[in-house]
Amino acid sequence: MEMKYFQLPPAAEMKRAVYSKDKSYDGIFFVAVKSTNIFCRPACTARKPLEKNMVFYSSARDALFAGYRACKRCKPLELTGTHPDWVKTLLEKIDSSNEKKLRDGELRAMGIQPEKARRYFMKNYGMTFHAYQRSRRLGSAFTQIREGSKIDDAVFSNGYNSHSGFRDAFSKVFGKPPGRSESTDCIVTSLYQSKLGPIIIGATSKGVCLVEFSDRRMLEYQLKTIRKRFNAAIIPGSNKHIVQVKSELDEYFKGNLKNFKTPLVYPGTDFQVNVWNNLKKIPYGKTISYIDLAEKIGLKGASRAVGTANGMNRIAILIPCHRVVNKDGRLGGYGGGLWRKQWLLDLERGHLS
């Protein structure tokens, strides 16, 4: 799954959404106002700006980098924790339908423009809505086969009309025909809407292997890395580890959970794994400097190398690289953005109201 540049809707469409306070565009784009230097959600209840003062961005991060402040009324940095209603309807339809395939005409009948669905899924999943459906169907079939179901059952219960079409699609994704996949693992990925923005979670049958903010620049590289490390295909879906970690993240972001119990799998070089293991030992609400961390693991003077390994961590929050700071107490770096690092530290120190 490759994350690609997200293209904004047409300007006229975004302006209509802002003036009509259309909540269905939440997550599609953000609107900044030049006269106030503030950016908002499309459906913000504040007084609507003049058309000449509006600037549109595909992410809150882009708006922040452009120098705009987050609106205190609609709080664009704090997502609701769920998809917009129309997206939830689509996802529920896919999961409940025997066909597991919705065409453009069916989307329009549901009151959803296909182009809008395409943009949302491209931005949040790195693939079009139709590609998501295809991957979801293959993922469901893959799970059935690994659990011992007959190939016929996997083919027809996931909306395929023929064995040949299923075999071609399956082999293209997993690198082998379905009859030889019983012992093969895959990486299932799911989107988690956190208070700090969308997070991509990935897991194998053994545990969670990826927790990354969806707008992180290294996300595409990290996806390629886990694909290579596990020699496995990446498909949208869920498993027991993803269900567990989402539940734990809910409690973490509420300030109710200090220690995660979800199994983690994070292969890397011996040096990287050593650093990541020691990151897990940093207590909740505490920080350590890069220099002190290097000394703690017996690598005095290797703070720069430790910082590099810290930045290569693929499992944010659960392997708490945000708890490592500079010797003078300044935040240092963070792949998810320093504003997120500060928010996480404030949460763990009990400084958030």
Distance, in Å, from the CA atom of 27 to the CA atom of 188, rounded to the nearest integer, reads 23
Say whether 321 is catalytic: yes
Taking a C-beta distance cutoff of 8 angstroms, is the pair 315, 210 a contact?
A: yes
Strand pairing report for 30-33 and 38-40 = antiparallel
The tokens 């390629």 sit on which residue? 224
Contacts of 171 (CB under 8 A, 6+ apart): 177, 178
* C-alpha torsion angle, residues 101, 102, 105, 111 (rounded to 10): 170
Taking a C-beta distance cutoff of 8 angstroms, is the pair 15, 51 a contact?
A: yes
Which of 44, 71, 209, 321 does the annotation list as catalytic?
321
Tokens of 315: 């499992």
The tokens 């395409």 sit on which residue? 118
Tokens of 70: 């987050």
The tokens 């869920």 sit on which residue? 238
Q: Which residues are catalytic?
A: 321
